[in-house]
Structure 1
């Protein structure tokens, strides 16, 4: 008894000061959104925040940073390469334009980072630091976040520093886009779970079942880091779109759209994460539903308003300790689910698609088509990043469209173009566009593709080369009270904000591809000719020709047989 009391008295002295005064927080949430086409969008968010650049003395001449919730594997990488903020998304599948969202992810791998400047560092040293950061990030998440012939661009119109303070103007933005078909997989999810305080043993992280997560229509893994007010925040997100109708038909049903946590993830919430301050499960109540629906369980749920949406929320830490939480929604009178007409699907404020017109494999036209579904004119930021072997002729950019208003036509208000440098810098195009109300606008410019070295062609060159999709940002309307002054387009996003961010899918572009079988045909033909020539010459030089008397030979053989 005395020993236990002594240990309790000495406990404050045994705990390091950096741990005793930790101010880090951790929260997690799951949001389920039923879509009009019968699919379900699930978004898991894990947020960890704590003091940043708060070094502790661990020796006479050594300092270190200690974190209780922030993942040290990620924070050490950011500190070593002096990264102020970054966003990494790995997505697989295709995002449908009818799914309601304010931001659609880029197809494949997208990395945007802001590097802290250094007066003693030149551009080559800064580029080396960027390459080392991407290599370390790719190794941490077991994914190909490497250039591989795709260099980073420096766009500043479509991305703004989200940290606090004016020091964001001096940071160096870098953006890297890799349009890959399978950007995320189980190998990426395993290190992702290791960054969570409770990993996959408790809390919402236990729902991350790779067999169900990667069986959906679309999957996303996101890692975000920001610095605000001396605090560093790491936010991890997992997005997925699954089809309960398809799964019910595979199980022998008629195709119902009922779903629950168990049907989506094949798991239930049994143990809450003990270090999480808040852990919630949210379900968006369907709007304009023809058939009646039921939401269970009714115990412990809270109904909240979020704009025009109605949200049902459960606190996982306040649930029953004996029964697992299995939030579910069902339509008892709906059997089976019938896909709605296209006209009844939600319409976004603007929609976009890629346009690619080619004449042969060397030249063509590339651009986008924008449809403004609103009743008012809109201003849009258009950002393109093409590989260095795509050279656009921005002087021939054309804008044409059809609008209900005869006097209003689409136009380009501002333009910024960075030409490519072969094998060093990609092509970057940034434009501020004006879209008339209820209009369909097309923006096209001619391009010319370069010839590559034969070592730069991939193994499936005849499939085509992928070009990253375009980024389209719908800006919020300008304030009526604001004075009409010339504003730098690079500051428009920070001043007005983004109402909608859209990414077009990646595009396959055919390049002049040589016939790689021709060298093998030449080698085979040359080897055959050389073999025939060498064989003939060798026969002439080595072999001797003479006449053989077969009868005399037979008589000699008979005499030898008689002697034996």
Structure 2
């Protein structure tokens, strides 16, 4: 397969590539669960890789890898080959947890991003070709292109880990390829149902209504194929407030009443298993909230009896997703095309912080790691760094535990900033500002749409002390699913900020055209007159005029 060939040729220890359209809404879709922590990616293309090659060959290997991936996925990944488009994080990039025994971690890692890269079916088709049955059978057969790209968010992720190179302590053998497709879709709302209380009921949905297709069986090459449906912990709590009663698996009028609470929602298909997952524990490790997970085995279904999982709501229910302890936002300050400031703000979610262990203690400190890359033409002044906690300025030495900066070099390398902050758990808000100057580009360095502005890649904000994972409760034999195993791994809670659009001083690209047009007009008039004078024959013109005058005189005399 192509990915095995690339791992061997470029000696890749670990690599991740993502194509994303849209931005993950952490406030509405959650940020404290394994799905959002591992699969919520920044807009555009993001690529990072760890190599097992000599130090002096890493940059050339990265360049060759970007060209290979660009041809494989029909994208502009080859633009990352330039030293101005990638960086080497030291310790802040927690998305790459793998380390080496005898090689330094930071020197082997390369990271690059293209925030303006458009994502289309040309990128999805090569991704589907890496599947054993492509999109002809199995779960991938329901992927309808218009449904995918018509949603709020779409991200396709490719993660490769190889034990062939690097640490000998790794228990994993061979090469592992993980493909993840994350979608946020809107159910087709045709009729709004009102409840007696005046509130609207959530629209019913199913796989057939979302994608226009149903699962008709597994891929013959797949060892296991399952569909998992989760009822989140806050939804379970809201269902409990409605006075429902816990039920067991069973049929009811051709459908299946949820095993959580009767009379609130209805499942279209009877699940094969029901799992209880604990998302978070209190300071005493007691059960605080749990979610319900329904498991459907695709092997039981076929074209004659397809699988169409869905939910029909009977009562209006409103709940929120489990959010990260802080909401992160980034924006620009200042005006003009000379200088400005970058601000990163953190706004606490008090309800979530109360559920974090030890958060009620007075000496509780929350560690926050910030990873930010800026292009070389954004000249950041790191000495202007200022930090505000609850609106009050704080000395940098009191908040920052660790810092690593790499100033940008004109047309050579981008700027890199890594910060490890320690802020009190009861902090309501925190802000970080840093000033920068805007550089000047050569006229041939501007893109075709230079007046639109230049993109700054998303900043990555991580919380090392918090892990997004599920704790399984019940029968351990249900843990055979690879997806459930991934849910139980420790995933650091991390957030991506917005992509910033920075306007730079842009020349008037119409001036060269105006100058060329005016110059050509003047030259045409000058050389036209010059050639006319040079080629004119004065003697012949005089003889021609004299003969013409004589002819007119003779005609007059004859009259």
Correspondence list, 1:129-140, <5 A: 129-140=61-72
Q: Which residue of the partner structure matches residue 222 of structure 2?
A: 276
Alpha-carbon deviations, 1:301-345, whole Å to 9, x = none? Answer: 3211111111111111134673101001011455xx9xx79xx67
State whether residues 152 and 176 of structure 1, in contact with CA within 8 Å, keep that contact through their aligned partners in structure 2. yes
CA distance in 2 between partners of 1:349 and 1:505 (Å): 18
RMSD across aligned positions (CA): 3.3
* SS of residue matched to 1:278: coil
The runs of 5 or more residues in structure 2 that have no matched partner are: 163-169, 195-199, 243-262, 279-289, 360-364, 468-488
- Residues 541 and 242 (structure 1 numbering): CA distance in 2 closer, same or farther, change over 3 Å? same
Deviation at 1:126, TM superposition (A): 2.3
C-alpha displacement at 1:117, in angstroms? 3.1
Contact 1:403 1:409 in 2 (8 A): no
CA deviation map 1:348-402 (0-9, x unaligned):
3111111211331121111311123335441100000111111111111001131
- The 1:237–1:115 alpha-carbon spacing in structure 2 relative to 1, beyond 3 Å, is same
Summarize the Cα distance change of 1:168–1:283 in structure 2 as closer, same or farther, 3 Å threshold.
farther
- Structure 1 residue 548: deviation in Å? 5.9
Q: Give the Cα separation in 2 of the matches to 1:210 and 1:234.
A: 23
Q: Distance in 2 between matches of 1:176 and 1:441?
A: 28
Alignment of 1:247-286 (within 5 A): 247-249=188-190, 257-285=203-231
Q: TM-score, normalised by structure 2?
A: 0.75
Once the two structures are TM-superposed, the CA of residue 559 in structure 1 deviates from its matched residue by 10
Q: Name the residue aligned to 2:551.
A: 553
Residue 214 of structure 2 corresponds to residue 232 of structure 1: no
2:325 corresponding residue in structure 1: 349
Length-normalised TM-score, structure 1: 0.74
Name the structure 2 match of 1:402: 390
After superposition, give the CA deviation of every residue in 1:471-520 in whole Å (9 maximum; x if it has no partner): 10012169xxxxxxxxxxxxxxxxx9764110012111011111111111
- Residue by residue over 1:226-266, the C-alpha shift from the partner in whole angstroms, topping out at 9 and shown as x without a partner, is 1342332110111111111xx32499999952111111111
- Name the counterpart of 1:89: 18
List per-residue Cα deviations over 1:137-189 (Å, max 9, x = no partner): 1211222212355421000222355448735645701101110252x211111
1:416-461 Cα shifts (integer Å, max 9, x gaps):
1001122221110000112232321111111112111111101100
For the 8 Å contact 2:347–2:428, the answer to whether it is kept is yes
| Displacement of 1:274 | 2.0
Secondary structure of the corresponding residue to residue 520 of structure 1 = helix
The match for 2:276 among 291, 300, 305 is: 305
Q: Deviations over 1:45-75 (max 9, x none)?
A: xxxxxxxxxxxxxxxxxxxxxxxxxxx1110
The residue that corresponds to 1:525 in the other structure is 518
Structure 2 CA distance for partners of 1:523 and 1:282, relative to 1, 3 Å: same
* 1:118-143 Cα shifts (integer Å, max 9, x gaps): 3xxx52x3211110011111211222
Per-residue deviation at 1:535?
2.6
Taking a change above 3 Å as real, the CA distance of residues 497 and 368 of structure 1, as seen in their structure-2 partners, is farther
**Aligned equivalents of 1:224 and 1:362: distance in 2?**
40
Q: Is the 8 A contact 1:410 1:435 kept in 2?
A: no
Q: 8 Å contact 2:466–2:493 — kept in the other structure?
A: no
Aligned residues of 1:363 and 1:449 also touching (Cα < 8 A) = yes
User: Using a 3 Å threshold, how does the CA distance of structure 1 residues 558 and 211 change in structure 2: closer, same or farther?
Assistant: farther
Q: Distance in 1 between matches of 2:210 and 2:398?
A: 44
Aligned length: 459
Q: String of CA shifts for 1:176-225, please: whole Å, max 9, x gaps.
A: 1110252x211111111111111112111112221211111111110001
**Is residue 424 of structure 1 aligned with residue 412 of structure 2?**
yes
The residue aligned with 2:471 is none
Give the SS at the match of 1:396: strand
Cα distance in 2 for residues equivalent to 1:265 and 1:399:
47
